[in-house]
Amino acid sequence: MTHQIRRVVTGHDSEGNAICVSDEIATNVLQRPTRPGVTLTNLWQTNTCPAEFNGPEETVDGPFVLHPPENGTVFRIIEFLPEDPEVIKNIDGKVAFAAMGASHNIIEDARHPYMHRTDSVDYAVILKGEIWMLMDREEDDVLLKTGDTVVQRGTNHAWANRGTEPCLMMFVLVDGVSKSDA
């Protein structure tokens, strides 16, 4: 069963007092047969920097996309169930990422079908379980465990749960640019 994420959003009433504007199970969830065993849950999104904190009370009711908005951020939880190597070897990563408008982010002929790159700085925390962060070369792969953090800076990568338990990760994706592209 997919881990459901409770999302609490605060705001202000008409008199400026701090209030809870919503407290519910997050509903912006993406599951797809082309990425078996993975559930993405978007919790919040910003469209500007600095972020507007007196803005709308809901920001993730639109299409589910991989990359944060230009000059914005996405706050997301991803659950990775253990991978089945027999299933993975027959996966088309471009098709899987197309569901998030990101087929162009897949790295062609990579050693894992979900190897991809985004123009963002991503902060990640492993909340539960463990997962392999796959890099371009196998000798650079890193096993991450509960409590570990990652700062992913626009590099090729894939996530592979080679264990026996689900892995739950928190991400904040920040729109970015390479200084050489600017």
- CA proximity to 105, closest of 119, 92, 91, 88: 119
Q: Can you tell me the distance from the alpha carbon of 131 to that of 129, in angstroms, rounded to the nearest whole number?
A: 7
- Per-residue pLDDT of the chain (182 residues), as tens digits, is 578 999 999 999 999 999 999 999 999 999 998 899 999 999 999 999 999 888 888 899 988 999 999 999 999 999 999 999 999 989 999 999 999 999 999 999 999 999 999 999 999 999 999 999 999 999 999 999 999 999 999 999 999 999 999 999 999 999 998 877 65
In the chain, where the domains are located? 27-175
Place domain 27-175 in its CATH homologous superfamily. Answer: Jelly Rolls (2.60.120.10)
pTM, rounded to two decimals: 0.92
To 10 degrees, the CA torsion angle through 97, 86, 154, 102? Answer: -10
Contact of 113 with 83, CB cutoff 8 Å: no
